[in-house]
């Protein structure tokens, strides 16, 4: 939250202001005889949420160290805390990416430890929005509802230039259940993550750094990563052995530097002043996401927050920025700029907003000065495939598009199931793990260039886009075809039209590069019909379906978990010619000699049968002996909507032949085949999974 919430009561069944909060009252922690309950309200702190302030006072937030501070809890560590000296995965860094990897590994039963140099988690600020694709991934981990209830959804966009309205329209939406981007700050997200891993009996080991590490080359060593940790308060060292090491320590990653991986790209001279506050203004869209541009003074980004707060990003200029230019860190990020005050940033904001006026209406909730760097690690994985980078340790970029936090979720969901399978000896390291660097680095390249292009438009900068390597040594050319910026209204609208026509689904997290790999094979391009219209490597569509007579929902509701593959069988009405094909799949593929049994059964595969039928027809359709395995192993859902909106239509299914779709644990389509082509599935999974029967 932006500030401490005043006391509330629910005595009328809904939240109302109250003079006191019952959790803090002595009467609510003792019996009528004054005897104390076993439960004791833990201590809390109310630190300042910002290092800079305005004349309206100081802003504080409430924190609960025993809940969120891990091993730095003032009450000490719990009795059950017993960190292992040998773990499957060691995660260095408890920012978003590190915690997201932890969420996934915990759900897979993979042992891990997670360390962080800070004494406590972030209390305010930083990242501010979740894309709908991120929420779909968090839904698969059982957490999305916690994030969507915090702040507003961005449903409109406004753009002004030199005091004149250029755009006011509905924001780009998607066919996801989450539609558009949801506002929630990184500090709020971190609390949700920490509560989750605490439920899995994991603490963040605070005030702890990775002093050094080495990877043994002996392939027979069970735990080839040897890491020396150090508590920066006590100086106490300890050695941890791991199968894999995850670099999540942020843009200045020591792991990336020790691996000698170049951080390709450019460090710009562009600085942003970021202010979270309540504002008084005659600008008509302060509660709407928007961009305000002034040809002479630069630009601002407006992001509405919860409880009437707004975040304004303001491009800084003038002599103050020349002083900041002396900071030559390649990673960019937050600048220790005590010489720049919130009032100076507000003055610059007013220059950009003119003729509109903006003033503070409350104490500042959070403030920072941020230097933009646009860089991508040349590799996200070590040659041994035992060390992997993600989040800011692998890529940094401008604030445009809210890619930072969201990219960390995409990185974590892509890497974690692969590392988890390999750590449990269920998949081949050399076959599966190279796909992480291949898929995520190409995505990061596009982030840097898309976010950078939009930033240059808003700032009126002619700085060339960052030069980044693609799949080989060739340079990335993504967005080289944008129109030139000539400063005219017509030219601006042409540039915006071309940019958003290309980028709208990419910004929401749905459009991704699809490089060929073991888990994303090439599609049949010989003119023969394909089983589905959805391409390999693309997002698995999430249509509405029926679960039983009284419940409907989305297909993803039956595709949860962190490491299982989802095998979707589209069976139409399971009558006529399609019945024989589906029966063959049931008998052969799900039989004792099929891939299902060879590679892990229900623990590895979630079988979902999608029927064009009503719920009461299921028993008759599946009662035959050849459907026995489907009855035993498949979850049946009912595609009972009209043909122009049903799941078969979304996936492009031939009702005479049906289809089988392999959806990866991170909810991207791996491949598809006809139901009778059982050898295709065997070949696909045999390319990277370990045969459990051999």
pLDDT in tens, 187-237: 999 999 999 999 999 999 999 999 999 999 877 889 999 999 999 999 999
pLDDT in tens, 409-426: 999 999 999 999 999 999
Nearest to 91 by CA among 72, 119, 116: 116
What CATH number is attached to the domain comprising 607? 3.40.30.20
d(CA 4, CA 434): 46
pTM of the model: 0.95
**Boundary-marking domain end, from 326, 354, 372:** 372
pLDDT in tens, 20-32: 998 888 777 777 7
Nearest to 626 by CA among 686, 669, 585, 654: 585
Is 303 among the domain residues? Answer: yes
What CATH number is attached to the domain comprising 331? 3.30.9.10
Q: What is the pLDDT of residue 78?
A: 95
DSSP string, 616-679: GGHHHHH-SGGGHHHHHHEEEEE--S-TTTSHHHHHT--TTT-EEEEE-TTSBEEEEE-TT-HH
Nearest to 125 by CA among 62, 57, 187: 187
Cβ contacts of 232-241, under 8 Å, gap ≥ 24: 232/117, 232/207, 232/208, 233/207, 237/211, 238/85, 239/85, 240/85, 240/86, 240/87, 240/90, 240/113, 241/85, 241/86, 241/87
Is 292 among the domain residues? Answer: yes
Report how far Cα 311 is from the mean position of its chain's Cα atoms.
21
d(CA 9, CA 17): 6
Is 609 among the domain residues? Answer: yes
Nearest to 481 by CA among 455, 461, 501: 501
Is 641 among the domain residues? Answer: yes
Is 565 among the domain residues? Answer: yes
Q: What is the pLDDT of residue 524?
A: 75
**Boundary-marking domain end, from 372, 399, 429:** 372
Across 265-272, average pLDDT: 91
Range(s) of the domain holding residue 17: 1-39
**Boundary-marking domain end, from 313, 338, 372:** 372
H helices present in 50-200, as ranges = 65-68, 96-108, 132-140, 144-148, 186-199
How many domains are contained in the chain? 3
Helix (H/G/I), strand (E/B), else coil: 604: coil
568 forms beta bridges with: 608, 661
Of 279 and 35, more confident: 279
Band (399; pLDDT cuts 50, 70, 90): confident
Helix (H/G/I), strand (E/B), else coil: 535: coil
Is 252 among the domain residues? Answer: no
Task: Calculate the average pLDDT of the chain.
Answer: 93
Is 321 among the domain residues? Answer: yes
- The β-bridge relationship of strands 208-215 and 358-360 is unpaired
pLDDT in tens, 601-645: 999 999 999 999 999 999 999 999 999 999 999 999 999 999 999
Q: What is the pLDDT of residue 479?
A: 76
pLDDT in tens, 519-564: 999 987 677 889 999 999 999 999 999 999 999 999 999 999 999 9
Is 297 among the domain residues? Answer: yes
Q: What is the pLDDT of residue 218?
A: 76
What are phi and psi for residue 553, nearest 5 degrees? 180, -145
User: Using an 8 Å Cβ cutoff, are 130 and 106 in contact?
Assistant: no
Across 27-53, average pLDDT: 84
d(CA 243, CA 215): 9
Band (485; pLDDT cuts 50, 70, 90): confident
């Amino acid at each position: 939250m932006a500030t401490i919430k005043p006391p509330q009561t629910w005595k009328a069944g809904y939240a109302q202001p109250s003079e006191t909060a019952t959790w803090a009252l002595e009467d609510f922690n003792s019996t009528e005889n004054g005897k104390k309950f076993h439960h004791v309200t833990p201590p809390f702190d109310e630190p300042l949420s910002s290092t800079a302030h305005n004349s309206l006072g100081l802003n504080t937030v409430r924190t609960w160290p025993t809940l969120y501070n891990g091993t730095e809890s003032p009450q000490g560590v719990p009795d059950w805390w017993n960190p292992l000296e040998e773990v499957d995965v060691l995660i260095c860094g408890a920012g978003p990416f590190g915690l997201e990897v932890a969420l996934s590994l915990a759900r897979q039963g993979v042992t891990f430890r997670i360390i962080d140099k800070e004494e406590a988690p972030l209390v305010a600020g930083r990242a501010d929005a979740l894309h709908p694709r991120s929420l779909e991934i968090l839904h698969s981990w059982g957490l999305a509802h916690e994030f969507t209830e915090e702040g507003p959804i961005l449903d409109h966009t406004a753009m002004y230039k030199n005091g004149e309205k250029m755009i006011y329209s509905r924001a780009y939406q998607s066919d996801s259940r989450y539609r558009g981007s949801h506002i929630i700050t990184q500090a709020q997200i971190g609390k949700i993550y920490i509560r989750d891993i605490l439920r899995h009996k994991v603490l963040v080991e605070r005030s702890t750094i990775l002093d050094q590490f080495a990877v043994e080359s002996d392939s027979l060593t069970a735990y080839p990563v040897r890491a020396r940790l150090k508590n920066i308060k006590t100086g106490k060292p300890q050695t941890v052995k791991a199968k894999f090491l995850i670099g999540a320590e942020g843009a200045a990653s020591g792991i990336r530097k020790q691996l000698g991986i170049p951080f390709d790209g450019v460090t710009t001279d562009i600085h942003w002043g970021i202010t979270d506050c309540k504002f008084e203004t005659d600008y008509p869209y302060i509660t709407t996401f928007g961009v305000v541009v002034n040809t002479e003074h630069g630009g601002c980004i407006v992001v509405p927050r919860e409880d009437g707060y707004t975040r304004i990003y303001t491009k800084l200029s003038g002599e103050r920025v020349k002083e900041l230019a002396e900071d030559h860190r390649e990673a960019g990020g937050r600048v220790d700029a005590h010489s720049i005050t919130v009032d100076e940033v507000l003055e610059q904001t007013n220059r950009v907003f003119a003729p509109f006026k903006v003033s503070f209406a409350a104490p500042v909730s959070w403030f920072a000065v941020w230097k933009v760097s646009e860089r991508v690690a040349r590799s996200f994985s070590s040659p041994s495939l035992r060390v992997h980078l993600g989040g800011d340790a692998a890529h940094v970029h401008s604030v445009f598009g809210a890619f930072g936090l969201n990219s960390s979720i995409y990185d974590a969901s892509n890497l974690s199931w692969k590392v988890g399978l390999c750590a449990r000896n269920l998949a081949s390291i050399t076959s599966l793990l190279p796909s992480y660097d291949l898929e995520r680095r190409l995505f990061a390249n596009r982030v840097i260039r898309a976010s950078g292009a939009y930033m240059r438009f808003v700032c009126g900068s002619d700085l060339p886009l960052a030069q980044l390597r693609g799949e080989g040594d060739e340079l990335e050319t993504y967005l080289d075809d944008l129109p030139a910026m000539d400063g005219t209204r017509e030219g601006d609208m042409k540039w915006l039209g071309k940019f958003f026509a290309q980028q709208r689904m990419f910004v929401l997290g749905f459009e991704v590069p699809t490089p060929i790999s073991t888990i994303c094979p090439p599609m049949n391009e010989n003119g023969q019909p394909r089983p589905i219209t959805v391409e390999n490597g693309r997002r698995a569509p999430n249509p509405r379906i029926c679960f039983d007579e009284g419940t409907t929902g989305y297909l993803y509701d039956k595709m949860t978990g962190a490491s299982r593959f989802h095998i979707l069988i589209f069976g139409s009405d399971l009558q006529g010619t399609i019945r024989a094909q589906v029966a063959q799949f049931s008998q052969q593929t799900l039989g004792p000699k099929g891939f299902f049994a060879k590679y892990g059964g229900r623990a590895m595969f979630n079988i979902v049968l999608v029927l064009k039928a009503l719920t009461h027809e299921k028993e008759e359709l599946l009662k035959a002996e050849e459907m026995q395995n489907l009855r035993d192993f498949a979850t049946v859902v009912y595609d009972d909507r009209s043909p122009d909106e049903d799941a078969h239509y979304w996936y492009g299914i031939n009702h005479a032949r049906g289809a089988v779709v392999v959806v990866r644990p991170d909810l991207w389509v791996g491949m598809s085949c006809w139901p009778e082509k059982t050898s295709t599935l065997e070949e696909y999974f045999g390319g990277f999974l370990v045969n459990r029967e051999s």
